[in-house]
Structure 1
Amino acid sequence: MLLDRECMVSLTDQILPLVGVALGAVMSFLVSSLNERTRWRRQQSVRWDEHRLTAYAEYAHAVKELAARYQMMAAARGLVSGPMPLEPTPEVLADIGELESRRSALSETLGLLGDTEANTASKMLDHCLWRLECLARGVATEVEQNWDEAYQEFRDARSRYVERARASLGVSGVVARDVAWPAAWRPVTRSSSPQ
């Protein structure tokens, strides 16, 4: 019986270290796998965030470029003052057509990469942009609207889009709008100029 007990102790002394080594190997494998999976997910997230940032920014730039052209065309029709008037010549309209095609293609990329909130905001921004186009070209619509109201709606829609895009990218904070110019930079009007 003493011999059996010594065999059991000897066998236990041999098995326990083997179990410890096996358990350590399994734990090491699990921790390494978890770390590798976390690292891969982080890399994928960064990779897609870069593409999303590019899509959001290029789309916003294309929309802004079109809005500027429509504002210049509106100035040519006397709907707004300020920007250099741009007559809707065939060349100008062809250029605007190319810009619209680019905006449309960027919108498709945005649809693939953007989140639901940013994509919804981009569609509203498209509608406001097309409203500016109708006014700039003199296309009649069911509801009359002046340029200033339509342009303010466009600016509000653009701000909502930027906010949603920033939230999608995890960028915190608020983008300031309508920051007053320093007094020294404001244009002097004729009535207030020194005599």
Structure 2
Amino acid sequence: MSVFLQQLPALIGVVVGALGSYVVVVRGDRMRFGREQAARWEERRLGVYADYAQSVKKTVTVAYRISAGNGIGHHPDPLTLADAERLLAEANLERDPAGEALIMLGSVDVAEKGRAWVVTVMEMERFVRTGDQDRDAWQALLDRQRAGRADYYAAVREDLGLPPGHSARWPVLTDDPVPPQR
């Protein structure tokens, strides 16, 4: 029995060491799993945010084209409302599921900024559907849409922990800078 008592401290040390190693490995695995899961959700949210922005932007582009067709906007490929109906319908059909994904996976702030942006875009769509020729009213809608888009992107960047991005305010030439060839 005295041999067992002499070996008992070593045996206790082995058991304590094994338990300690187990705890460290399990804790490390849990932390790694948590980091990997957070990265997956962040990647998924980025995809949802980008899909939503692209779906809203499709409506914006079609509205720009119709406004050019109505004589109040500038787009190199103007469309009449009749020619654009199918494109508007497709853009709206794509936007609905993207909006649902945004509500489901997005932060509250991003979802609110996305809602504000799309409300302005729907006003733009109504404006061009009526054939309104008020250039100042159209310009006000364009300015609100651009501000809404900037707010949405800023909220996305904040939610994902990204640095501030480009303002996306590029000067748009309304006249052809190249003189016509004679």
**Structure 2 counterpart of 1:178:** 169
Contact 1:73 1:88 in 2 (8 A): yes
Contact 1:74 1:137 in 2 (8 A): no
**Structure 1 counterpart of 2:159:** 168
Q: CA deviation at 1:14?
A: 2.5
Selected match of 2:115 from 123, 132, 142: 123
Closer, same or farther: CA 189–22 of 1 in aligned 2, 3 Å? same
Task: Measure, in 1, the Cα distance between the counterparts of 2:75 and 2:100.
Answer: 33
Larger Rg: 1
- After superposition, where does 1:10-89 map in structure 2 within 5 Å? 11=5, 13-89=6-82
Q: CA deviation at 1:29?
A: 1.1
How many residues are matched? 175
Task: Measure, in 2, the Cα distance between the counterparts of 1:109 and 1:139.
Answer: 33
**Structure 2 counterpart of 1:155:** 146
Task: Measure, in 1, the Cα distance between the counterparts of 2:131 and 2:69.
Answer: 15
- AA aligned to 2:102 is L
Selected match of 1:103 from 73, 86, 95: 95
- AA aligned to 2:28 is N
The C-alpha deviation readout for 1:94-118, integer Å capped at 9, x for no partner, is: 2211211101111111111111111
Closer, same or farther: CA 154–85 of 1 in aligned 2, 3 Å? same
Structure 2 unmatched ranges of 5 or more: none
The C-alpha deviation readout for 1:66-96, integer Å capped at 9, x for no partner, is: 101011112222332344321111x521221
Task: Measure, in 2, the Cα distance between the counterparts of 1:177 and 1:93.
Answer: 28
- Aligned-residue sequence identity (percent) comes to 26
Closer, same or farther: CA 96–109 of 1 in aligned 2, 3 Å? same
Contact 1:71 1:83 in 2 (8 A): no
Contact 1:70 1:136 in 2 (8 A): yes
User: Which of 115-124 and 131-140 deviates more?
Assistant: 131-140
Task: Measure, in 2, the Cα distance between the counterparts of 1:46 and 1:83.
Answer: 41
Task: Measure, in 2, the Cα distance between the counterparts of 1:95 and 1:188.
Answer: 30
The alignment yields a C-alpha RMSD, in angstroms, of: 2.7
**Structure 2 counterpart of 1:188:** 177
Task: Measure, in 2, the Cα distance between the counterparts of 1:37 and 1:117.
Answer: 30
Task: Measure, in 2, the Cα distance between the counterparts of 1:178 and 1:83.
Answer: 18
Q: CA deviation at 1:153?
A: 0.6
- AA aligned to 2:161 is G
**Structure 2 counterpart of 1:134:** 126
**Structure 1 counterpart of 2:106:** 114
Task: Measure, in 1, the Cα distance between the counterparts of 2:130 and 2:9.
Answer: 88
